[in-house]
Amino acid sequence: MGYAAGLYYETHGPEDAPPLILSSGLGGSASYWAPNIPALAEHYRVIAYDHRGTGRSDRALPDTVSVEDFATDILALMDALEIPVATIAGHAAGAVAALALALLAPERIDKLVVVNGWAAPDPHFLRCFAARLALLRGSGPEAYLRAQPLFLYPPNWISANDAVLEAELPDQLAHFPGAKTMEKRIAALARFNVTDRLRDIHRPVLVVVSDDDMLVPSNAGVALANGLPIAGFCRAEHGGHAVNVVDPDAFNSFVLAWLAGEIAEG
C-alpha cells in the first residue's frame, strides 16, 4: 500500500504480472473489491485505489468534478507507478471512468471491464440518485448509509447478510466523505454522456450487467455494449448492482476467462 498523486493505493499479486487496475463505484473505496482481489491477483498485478475525495485519498475536491477527472486520476496513478499500459476494471462510477480514460488516452489501455456502467444518464438511476441525495440532505449520513444496501444488493442477500451490513456501518460512518463530496460525485455521474463517442473506443470492452440491478438498469449496459466496436457481454440474472460482491466466484471466473481470451467478443 502507498500513496501516489494524492491517491491511496494497494497492490496484490506478482510484481511482474500484467497490471490490472480496479476502480470502484460511488463510495470510491478500494476495499469494495475485497471478494475479487485474491482470484484476480493469481493472474495479475492488481492495483486497487481509493477515489480522490474518498477513503484514504486526498479529500480535497474542486467546486465541480467530472468523470473525466476520475479518468485523469487513473492516468496519474499509472504515471506515478510507471505503468505504461493496463487493463482497467471499473464498477459503476469506476466503469464510466474507465470509458472516459479509453477516450482520453487509448494508448494506455489494454482491455476494459465495465460492471453495471452506462454510456448516458438513465432516468431510473437519476431518480435513485435524487432520492439518495434527498435522504442525505434531510436525514444525514447514517440514514443515507442505512439505505445504501437497498440499491446495491438483492433483497434475499440483504436478509442473509444483515448482521455483516450492521457491523460495517460504524466504519462507513467514520470514513464517510461528506455530503458535499457525494453531491459533486453524483453530479459528475449524472452529466456523463459518451453515446456519440462510443465508436471511438477501439479497445476490447467486457460489459457486465445484472438483470436485478436496482440502481442501474441492465438496459443501460445493453445499450452501451451495442454501441461499442469491440464488446464482450455478460448478463447475470442475479447479483444486483454489486454483482461482483454477491456472486464473486461466478464474476471472477467469467472475467478471468474473458481477459484470457477464452470467451470471444459478441
- In percent, the amount of the chain with pLDDT more than 70 equals 99
pLDDT of residue 266: 56
- The three cell numbers of residue 18 are 500484467
Q: Sign of the C-alpha dihedral, residues 144, 239, 216, 211?
A: negative
Per-domain residue ranges of the chain: 2-259
- The span from the CA of 54 to the CA of 221, in Å, is 26
Q: To which H or E segment does residue 136 belong? A: helix 123-139
Span 237-266, pLDDT tens digits: 999 999 999 999 999 999 999 999 988 765
- The span from the CA of 144 to the CA of 132, in Å, is 6
Inter-residue contact 190 to 123 (CB < 8 Å):
no
- The three cell numbers of residue 14 are 506478482
Helix 141-152 vs helix 123-139: crossing angle, to nearest 10: 150
- CATH fit for domain 2-259, picks 3.40.50.1820, 2.60.40.10, 3.40.50.880, 3.40.50.720: 3.40.50.1820
pLDDT of residue 263: 83
Span 5-49, pLDDT tens digits: 999 999 999 999 999 999 999 999 999 999 999 999 999 999 999
Asked whether the whole model's pTM tops 0.85, one would answer yes
Q: How confident is the model at residue 1 (pLDDT cuts 50, 70, 90)?
A: confident
Span 173-190, pLDDT tens digits: 999 999 999 999 999 999
